[in-house]
Amino acid sequence: MEARRGTLILVVGPSGAGKDSLIEYGRKALADEARIVFARRTITRAEGAFEDHATLTEELFRERAETGGFALHWRAHGLSYGVPASIAADLAAGRSVVVNASRLAVAEARQRFLPLRVVVVTARREVLAERLRGRGRESEADIARRLDRAEIGLPSGSDVVRLDNSGPLAVAGEDFLALLKGCVGAAEAPS
């Protein structure tokens, strides 16, 4: 029996919704699960305490993008973001791949990577504001702009699951784990 393609799982949502926290929750809980890969993004921003990513200059990022080094890439908030091209081999081998992505990458992913699951992580406005202030990266005006954009352009469709991460991480985390385990089960199902 031929192995089925793995599912690409895009985790999207507004800044402060807790995407990185949910991904880390899943990574720790599924550390021994070889059928799920947690892809590490590349960003043209210095590494920080709030997200795990590789850093490149804009010039090196552009070179890598032009030579096919990214499966997906986009620009947001004045930065470039990329997902390594190596995820294509993982998906072809039947492994599901979890990616912290942008709503800007969903349309291209839908065209190129099936099966696909889009996890839209949300949180109440006051929770988003508190988390953004806690990062200390942005001014109050920048935070207000992010909050105003929080619900704009969030993807919808049959491949979308919404998770509210306003409360304790374990609540949304367990829902996220169930979704990830379901994607692995789908890859095992007979064609």
pTM score of the predicted model: 0.88
Q: Select the more confidently predicted residue: 81 or 78.
A: 81
Average pLDDT score, the chain: 89
- Please report the domains of the chain, with CATH numbers, ordered by start residue: 8-39+91-185 (3.40.50.300)
The tens digit of pLDDT for each residue in 169-189 reads 999 999 999 999 998 866 554
Q: Select the more confidently predicted residue: 141 or 153.
A: 141
Residue 65, pLDDT score: 94
Sheet holding 79-84, edge to edge: 53-55, 41-43, 79-84, 70-76
Q: How far is CA 105 from CA 31, 147, 191, in A?
A: 26, 20, 28
Task: Give the Cα separation of 45 and 189 in Å (integer).
Answer: 40
Residue 185, pLDDT score: 65
**CA-closest candidate to residue 30, choices 188, 152, 173:** 173
Residues, the chain: 191
Pairing of strands 8-12, 41-43: unpaired
pLDDT of 164 above 70 = yes
Answer for the pair 37, 26: CB distance below 8 angstroms, yes or no: no
Q: What is the mean pLDDT of residues 91-118?
A: 95
The tens digit of pLDDT for each residue in 21-49 reads 999 999 999 999 999 999 999 888 776 64
Residue 119, Cβ density class (10 Å: 0-12 exposed, 13-18 middle, ≥19 buried): buried
Residue 60, pLDDT score: 93
- Whose tokens are 């306003």? That residue is 166
Q: What is the mean pLDDT of residues 87-99?
A: 96
3-state DSSP assignment of residue 162: strand
Answer for the pair 11, 119: CB distance below 8 angstroms, yes or no: yes
Residue 95, pLDDT score: 95
